[in-house]
Structure 1
């Protein structure tokens, strides 16, 4: 995969993880005595995420372009990816019936990875964008293509690239995950606690969230300053 396919280390590691999990299950079920993948070395994966997110100003430009677009689905798409941090299959798979009121909060019931259900609160701007896209409908997909069918990831990618051109956002290759990546990095840049960002992004492992932290080496955010300020009376 690395020498011929030229796949990234993260891709190779992920695929080997699937193979190792399969053989591990075979051992547990008694189909095999031992796993042939047990001692296979996986390539080292960089601590930095290879995906390039948008800057704060670029995200604002995308939101503005979406809000001004004549296609009501554009603004909902950008907000669901960039302000809610949904994965593309979660956004395109969301239905109107999944919009609920819970303890005074407007929420979207999201079916995520591993068929895990999460309640994602909707900030007012996102709620308004979704209401525009729903346009009085009582059921069916929230995001639709121009033909009225459910929007898929390919349609979403085309819409985002069109919005990027309108907004003057120049990227090597605009794709939906770039906005989810921006959702995480922007919260970390804003000083949101890593644990809270992990919960919002629904990452099972905090190390996944840390890979997005492009300012982890920023000395201005070093915890030494926080501790010194907390203990100021004694120092």
Structure 2
């Protein structure tokens, strides 16, 4: 068996290095399916699972369904996550393993039959009341109109907390295209009280 001396010191077997490379490639392949905030959140959830495996000296490629069930229980009982969060994280882990199967890194997904916590059909998150929504529209109108009123771009940038004036200018150009946007039409309809 070949050995590899890592820059940090001790020798590691060639098999371990190959598994590590395979894992890095599998993670990259899975995350490549996502963009923007979805990628950031998915990466965070997957990193949490991989760290949990590492803390238990568990190779993610040798994990079985009971390991993932234990991870879900750990999220619930130790971390105290809500069912919706646990279900989301379990979906990320299942998606990772599904991608590993698709790419030929694994024959079967150990997450295929994992039980996820029940998530209530109704969300406990409250939406805006009609008055709150009108206040939001009013505030947006007063902003999206600062430039129309002749307020200096720099002052609008500061009020909007934009780090770069190009961001403010981008919103200024985009506001002229809102008349046909479905959300804008809905907001105008609700604001008109009809």
Structure 1 length as normaliser, TM-score? Answer: 0.32
Larger radius of gyration: 2
Structure with greater contact order relative to length (CA < 8 Å, sep ≥ 6): 1
Structure 2 length as normaliser, TM-score? Answer: 0.38
